[in-house]
Copies of this chain bind each other. A is one copy, B any other.
């Protein structure tokens, strides 16, 4: 079937073509998997299915790693000792890590399908959400649909003018000229004179001041486009790029009930193999196998050792670079080469879903140049009376470092104060919040591997090689930083190669 589709030109762009086939695993072959995040879980699940004897060591007390969901009652203690208890009402949650799955992340979708994890749409593009800049329009948030329509309209009008005047005749042939003008008129919602102006037509894309109605007194009132100068100077057109990029364009998904559902489903398949609270302190190997030393964080005691023929290590480089590991210089250098991105996500519970009731924003994201970066509106429970939890901040870089330095309470307070500039309902409706600063995570010391182009060129292939009996996996060993799909594809690639190595080694011996 895939062959047939390929011929018809419908081939998939993803390297993932279905469940990995690891037939012929050597009898009694053993694998240690370090880390029970998505990469580790997938590695353990597939190797176990193929007949390998697998053991998984995980430092945390739960599986899933950064694919994590916080719900009411959950507790979380950061480096530095800050302890938070999630006070969200039942049925509400936040995803401190990944929160969406693009349609082209075939591996993630396939695991959800095979393990029967229900998905629901995740809206990123919401034309009625806000775009906001402190230095534009007196700090008043604008609707995305206004910025979108007006930028497009002004661009179409300007290009129409240049084409109409013949100034681009060297570029656009006669045959194309009329088509281009027709296209600009359509695309830009221009009038017959190629002008973008207040009209039935432009209100048909940007919306009306008063929508058409029913019965008498139902005439629409057209809306006035934002002037080109104001729009250009505002910088709000930056959001247009974000909203149409391949990574986040519709359709996207989220698991019903929280992002950890997929990891939990894989974990259920390998539960007896996973040991929580096992902090790896040393990874050694020789020509016969791998020996991992770890501390039992719950029961304490002396360092323990576990051995296997092979090892898939999915520990984030931010942690692995602090652990003694016996690999060659090339991989050691690679492990040390990747700094981790800083990020903070803050979930806020409100008494009332004012963003829906007052602002008519159902799902999607508002963008701002305030330190909070984004406000993400929940997909579940829309158009129902009651409370809601929104993503009150999602930030990187300098802003994230500043908030990481604060206590969780201070971060939450900051998110409420900043957010009130976009939603003045915040202070009156706020109930409680959770703030996860990824650099304070004991399990990852950061958010994701921030490869520079230079480091990637120099170290990436060295990082991904099998070194003796050890192979690394995780989003850091992929070209899709921060995405779950990267972690999963990395794991699949790593175990595929490890399997071939194991088979070849077993054959040599016999």
Which residues in A have some Cβ–Cβ distance to B below 8 Å? 1, 5, 8-10, 12-16, 103-104, 106, 109, 112-113, 116, 118-121, 123, 125-128, 140, 145, 148-149, 151-152, 155-156, 158-159, 161-163, 165, 167-168, 171-173, 175-176, 179-180, 183-184, 186-187, 189, 203-220, 228-229, 232-233, 235, 237-238, 240-241, 244-247, 249-251, 253, 358-364, 379, 382-385, 424, 461, 464-465, 473, 477-480, 485-494, 497
User: Which B residues are in CB contact (< 8 Å) with A5?
Assistant: 358
* Contact with A489, one of B215, B364, B473 (Cβ below 8 angstroms): B215
Cα(A233)–Cα(B149), bound, Å: 24
B364 and A251 contacting across the interface, CB-CB below 8 Å = yes
- A363 near B246 with CB under 8 A, answer no
Interface contact A246-B207, CB-CB below 8 Å = yes
Q: How far is the CA of A233 from the CA of B244 in the complex (A)?
A: 24
A215 and B497 within 8 A (CB): yes
Contact: A219 with B479, CB < 8 Å? yes
User: Chain B residues near A245 (CB, 8 Å)?
Assistant: 204-205
A145/B229 contact (C-beta < 8 A), A8-B424, A183-B151, A489-B215 known: no
Chain B residues, Cβ within 8 Å of A213: 14-16, 478-480, 486, 489, 493
Q: A148-B244, A464-B215, A477-B214 are in contact. Are A253 and B489 (CB under 8 A)?
A: no
- Residues in B neighbouring A184, C-beta threshold 8 A: 155
13 new A-B contacts, CB < 8 A, other than A104-B128, A155-B159, are: A8-B424, A103-B361, A120-B121, A123-B250, A162-B168, A186-B238, A208-B246, A213-B486, A213-B489, A214-B480, A215-B489, A215-B494, A251-B362
Say yes or no: B232 contacts A183, CB within 8 Å. yes
> What are 19 sample pairs from A and B whose C-beta atoms fall under 8 A apart?
A13-B208, A13-B209, A119-B382, A125-B250, A149-B244, A151-B187, A158-B171, A167-B167, A180-B232, A186-B238, A208-B246, A211-B480, A214-B477, A214-B492, A215-B493, A215-B494, A251-B364, A253-B362, A253-B383
Please indicate which of the listed interface residues A120, A249, A364 has the most CB atoms of chain B within 10 Å of its own CB: A249
Shortest C-beta distance, A198 to chain B (Å), equals: 14
What residue in chain B is nearest A212 (Cβ atoms)?
A: B479
B359 touches A121 (CB 8 A): no
**Known contacts A176-B229, A461-B216; is-contact A250 B187 (Cβ 8 Å):** no
| Cβ contact within 8 Å between B246 and A145 | yes
Question: A-B pairs with the 9 shortest C-beta distances?
Answer: A215-B493, A214-B489, A214-B490, A214-B478, A212-B479, A127-B249, A162-B162, A179-B232, A15-B213
List B contacts of A215 (CB < 8 A). 464, 473, 477-478, 489-490, 492-494, 497
